[in-house]
Amino acid sequence: MKKPQLILITLCLFLIACSLPPQYTGYRLPATKHVTVFYTAADAKMDYSVMGRLSSHKYPLSIVVKNFSTYAQSIGADAIILLPVDAKSNRDYADVLKYK
């Protein structure tokens, strides 16, 4: 009975270690309720300032958008602009925006 439990616990710890949160460089504000996702800077029509930059390991786009949006809400962002994947480091990046 102990061997299956040990295998299950090991598997859970492995899966938890694989899902790393985004890394953020920039300033923080009170949390917001909604974050708009843009795929190019030209799509952002409102006047904004860049709060900082998010980075994450390469995951499928839907996961990246969800993770970045959730994290951006927690740091007080109004929008994010997804940047092209860096082929050298295989990482996703996004600029974090605050509307003026």
Q: What is the DSSP letter of 43?
A: G
- All structural domains of the chain, each given as residue ranges with its CATH number in brackets, are 21-99 (3.30.1660)
- Positive or negative, the CA dihedral 3, 4, 5, 9 is positive
Say which residue, 35 or 4, is predicted with more confidence: 35
Measured CA to CA, the distance from residue 42 to residue 44 in angstroms comes to 5
Measured CA to CA, the distance from residue 89 to residue 94 in angstroms comes to 15
pLDDT digits (tens, 9 = 90+) for 32-68: 999 999 999 999 999 999 999 999 988 888 889 999 9
pTM: 0.78
Measured CA to CA, the distance from residue 53 to residue 81 in angstroms comes to 9
